[in-house]
Amino acid sequence: MEPVLSIRGVSKMFPGVKALNNIDLTIESGEIHGIVGENGAGKSTLMKILSGVYKKDTGIIFMSGTEVDIKSPVHSQTLGISIIYQEFNLVDTLSAAENIFLGRTGEAGGRKRMNDRAGALLESIECGVDPRRRIADLSMSEKQMVEIAKALSFDSKIIIMDEPTTTLTGKETEKLFAIIRRLREKGVTILYISHKLDEIMELCDRVSVMRDGQLLGTMAATNLDRGEMIAMMVGRAMDMEYPRRESTAGDLLMQVDHLSTGKLQDISFGLRKGEILGLVGLVGSGRTELARAIFGADPVHTGTIAINGKGVRIRSPIHAIKAGVALVTENRKEQGLVLDFSVARNITMASLKKFSSAFVMQSGPEKKDVADYIDKLAIKTPSPLSKILNLSGGNQQKCVIARWLETEPLILILDEPTRGVDVGAKYEIYLIMKDIVERGGSILMISSELPEVLSMSDRVLVMRDGRISGEFDPRQTSREEIMANAIG
């Protein structure tokens, strides 16, 4: 049987960068094919060529034996390729049905027929969402279902999924996997892009590894070895994904007692000096809310926080910074970075008082500190004055961390510190974390990647439904045990 997709010699150049270099890839019909690689490896460029957003420079693409020239997103959909982006491609103000048939209202028939057809598509993937509901009112998982239904409405032969589980809970991920397997039974081919190697290993029939615009190889599921995959992705054998570290935990630094907000219920825990405290839980369990409450980003809460024995009143970020607390938020693009500004301005913006005397900014000390941090944290940027927009995700994240280190905090809260960061930069960030606690700082680390939390933390707290449901020693506990506690 002809492979459903055959890519031969495809290359793509952008100004100054060869994004794809002579890619040869064969996808068999009805397989779940994983694609892994660091950020910048070329995965997203390849997918955008398949979905008609970019045009390839060279090479040929065959679908089921016939050569195709994919001209536009709409064209790729009519050819049978659908792509589900990480941020979803939906119009919030319209209903699910209207989104499924976006731009095809003629085909869809009248409003009633459109709703009926949409309902049928959703039911075929066991999704009970009313097709007339607005996208803005749906959960992330439900939105994803709408995207899948949209793909099915085109009778897609190939569905590309880009990091589909980033915002899903464990249960929702299982549901998604079940749907994907059922789609495979129906003969649909899935291209599954993900950073989460465990999911890849669980779900995929074959996996292709990309690095620096090249396809390094394709392996069958039975031959998958995690270490080997990482080595191929990174280009060197990583003996350790995580730096080895002795525990440096000391006396109690911060004590939180009976913290409650709308979502949080009676949270109490302690954080020690020189400790990395991990915080895990399903999406929606309240981890980010806890971080924001401690940091004063959300002002309303009851309960007490004491640092070094003294009670502190934190009702705004200003109080928090003064008390020695810092927060690296989970979405740097919206809440962390001022994208149009330079690296230097982004780094100094939380400690303006430090660089000013009597309201006047002192550029000398500012420049020096910025240069220091760029050096210390190995931030790759052409110059401190470059727009931070142009840096890679990993380097942007390092800038945010530098910004908070500038405030000389006692406690650094990291919310998903390595999200959207490639494997190489991840390691560098872990090293930075190690350095911070070895110098006596404390870190509260929120992460959805269990391996990361378990390897880096001295202690792990599990949250569930706004409460702390358990405390574990990561060296003595298995991932399954922690997951079980998180699910409840």
Partner 1 sequence: MPSKAFNLIKSQKALVVLALLFVAMCFASPYFLTASNLINILVQCSINGIMAFGMTFAIIGGEFDLSIGSTMALCGLVSVMLQPYLSIPMVLLLVVAVGGVVGLLNGFLIAHQKANAFIITIASGMLVKGIALTISDGSPVIGSNAAYSTIANGTILGIPHAVTLFFLLLIVAQWVLTRTAFGRNLYAVGGDATVAAYAGIKVRFYKWSIFVITAVTAALGGILLSSKLNTGSPIHGDSVPLTVISSVVIGGTALSGGEGSALRTVVGLLIFSVLDSALNLLNIYPYYQLGLKGLLVIVIVGFDCYARNRKKAVA
Partner 2 sequence: MNGKIGAILRSYGLLLAMAALALVVAVIQPRFLSGDNILNIMRQLSVLGIVSLGMTIIIIGGYMDLSISGTISLVAVVVISMQQYTSAALSVVTGLVIGVVVGIVNAAVVLLVKAGNGESLILTFGMQTVLQATALLYAKGYSIKAPEGSSFRLIGQGTVGFLASPVLIFLALALILQLMMSKTRSGRSIYLTGGNKEAARLCGIPVSWYIGGMYVITGLMAAAGAIVLSSRTMSATPTMGTGYEMDAIMAVVIGGTSLKGGQGSVTKTILGVVLVGVMSNALNIIGVTPYMQSIVKGMIMIAAVWLDSKKTGGGAAFAKQSV
* DSSP letters spanning 138-174: S-HHHHHHHHHHHHHHTT-SEEEEESTTTT--HHHHH
CB of 335 to partner 1, least distance (A): 14
Closest listed residue to residue 287, CA positions, set 122, 169, 456: 169
Residue (98 or 330) nearer to partner 1, CB: 98
Which stretch, 134-142, 256-264, 335-343, 414-422, contacts partner 2 (CB under 8 A)?
Answer: 335-343
Residue of the chain from 102, 201, 312, 431 that contacts partner 1 (CB under 8 A): 102
Amino acid (one-letter) located at 210 = M
Which stretch, 42-50, 57-65, 330-338, 419-427, contacts partner 2 (CB under 8 A)?
Answer: 330-338
CB of 261 to partner 2, least distance (A): 17
Residue 478: in which H helix or E strand, if any?
none
Find residue 170's DSSP bridge partners.
Answer: none
The dihedral through the CA atoms of 60, 61, 64, 70 has a sign that is negative
Residue (315 or 475) nearer to partner 2, CB: 315
Mutual angle of helices 393-406 and 363-376, in 10-degree steps: 130
CB of 111 to partner 1, least distance (A): 8
Residue of the chain from 3, 59, 73, 243 that contacts partner 1 (CB under 8 A): 73
Tokens, residue 302: 């009851």
Total Cβ atoms within 10 A of residue 1: 8
Asked if 276 contacts 475 with a C-beta cutoff of 8 angstroms, the reply is: no
Tokens, residue 368: 């020096």
CB of 91 to partner 2, least distance (A): 12
Find residue 8's DSSP bridge partners.
Answer: 60
Query: Rounded to an integer, what distance in angstroms lies between the CA atom of residue 97 and that of residue 196?
Result: 31
Does the footprint of partner 1 cover residue 69 (CB under 8 A)? no
CB of 347 to partner 2, least distance (A): 11
Does the footprint of partner 1 cover residue 109 (CB under 8 A)? no
Kindly give the pairing relationship between strand 81-84 and strand 158-162.
parallel
Residue 93's binding partner, choosing from partner 1, partner 2, none, with beta-carbon cut-off 5 to 8 A by kind? partner 1
Asked if 429 contacts 417 with a C-beta cutoff of 8 angstroms, the reply is: yes
Which stretch, 79-87, 148-156, 192-200, 328-336, contacts partner 2 (CB under 8 A)?
Answer: 328-336
**Contact positions with partner 2 (CB under 8 A) in 402-421:** 403, 407
Residue of the chain from 9, 55, 69, 72 that contacts partner 1 (CB under 8 A): 72
Total Cβ atoms within 10 A of residue 319: 15
What does residue 192 show for φ and ψ, rounded to 5 degrees?
Answer: -115, 110
Size of the site for partner 2 (CB under 8 A): 27
Residue 270's binding partner, choosing from partner 2, partner 1, none, with beta-carbon cut-off 5 to 8 A by kind? none
DSSP conformational letter for 38: -
Residue 317's binding partner, choosing from partner 1, partner 2, none, with beta-carbon cut-off 5 to 8 A by kind? partner 2
Does the footprint of partner 1 cover residue 90 (CB under 8 A)? yes
Does the footprint of partner 2 cover residue 360 (CB under 8 A)? yes
Does the footprint of partner 1 cover residue 256 (CB under 8 A)? no
Size of the site for partner 1 (CB under 8 A): 15
Residue 72's binding partner, choosing from partner 1, partner 2, none, with beta-carbon cut-off 5 to 8 A by kind? partner 1
- Cβ-proximal residues to 251 (8 Å cutoff; 6+ apart), any chain: 272, 273
Q: List contacts with partner 1 (CB under 8 A).
A: 72-74, 89-94, 98, 102-106
